[in-house]
Amino acid sequence: MVILRILIALVCGAAFSSGVLAEQPREAIEARLSSDRLGRIESGTYLAGDRISFALDTSGANYLLSFSGTPEIFVLHPDTASLGGRVLKYDTGETALLVSGWGAFTLYTDRETDGLPAVRTGDFAAPALPAISLNEIQETAAEDSSELASLEHLAVSFDIDWATLANSGQARAMALDALENVARGIERFCGPIHRRDAFARRITAVRLAMAGRPIVTLQGRDLFVTFDPDLGYEGRASSRSIAFAIGMLLSAPKNQS
């Protein structure tokens, strides 16, 4: 009887131990799966396809994307994807990044439409907007006009309500950023000859103004662009959005042959 009781105790103890051991991995796996379903996105520098370097940082509920060698900072808006993943989109609605449920990154570009796998290579924090003088904005406006005339053969002037920028450093910094995005957007749009000709026929000036949200419209032969300095990077349109809006306004979308 003593031996029988010892055997029963050993069997029960083994069963209890195996149950505890089985429970621990199951809880760990469930916790990991739960975390993975969020499509965790880390700020940092990344390398896609061994040739495209980019950086990602958070901005409230959104993200900031910048590519190595280019000055523009894009605002990406997150959305849910299949299997617990997340997709980050430009302000045009185009997909920039896809993050799987287990954290794998895929970068999409105009050339790499099938996507490139990306790996994190280091830490990153988006730099603060620099202090800008009114004179610097005026000089940049003149330079952008000259560059478009040289590269795209376009006669386009840039104008801002200078008086509203005089007493606000934040407004000046965002005005310069918005101005640069407009110039880049025009260059992006005017690549094909038919679109450059359409632009030259309809637009001779760009006018920037502060408003409650970014808007791109045509007023006569002026491309009227607004920005909201209080919203930071999210308060102005990206160059991609500028190019897209021009295409819609001139009935010359990107995919037109």
Cβ atoms of 54 and 96 within 8 Å: the answer is no
Average pLDDT score, the chain: 86
pTM as predicted = 0.82
Instruction: Strands of the chain (E only): list them.
Output: 44-48, 52-59, 62-67, 73-80, 86-89, 95-99, 105-107, 116-122, 157-160, 205-210, 216-219, 222-227
Going by C-alpha positions, the residue among 230, 219, 214 that lies closest to residue 182 is 214
Tell me what the mean pLDDT of segment 153-172 comes to.
Answer: 91
pLDDT digits (tens, 9 = 90+) for 91-102: 999 999 999 988
How far apart (Å, rounded) are the C-alpha atoms in residues 79 and 81? 7
Q: Domain locations in the chain?
A: 44-122, 134-249
Q: 3-class SS at 48?
A: strand
pLDDT band at 2 (very low <50, low <70, confident <90, very high): very low
And the tokens for 140? 């940049």
pLDDT (0 to 100) of residue 144:
96
Confidence of residue 128 (pLDDT cuts 50, 70, 90): confident
pLDDT of res. 242: 98
pLDDT at 36: 44
Q: What tens digit of pLDDT does each residue of 3-54 get?
A: 435 433 443 444 434 443 344 455 544 444 444 445 689 999 999 998 999 9
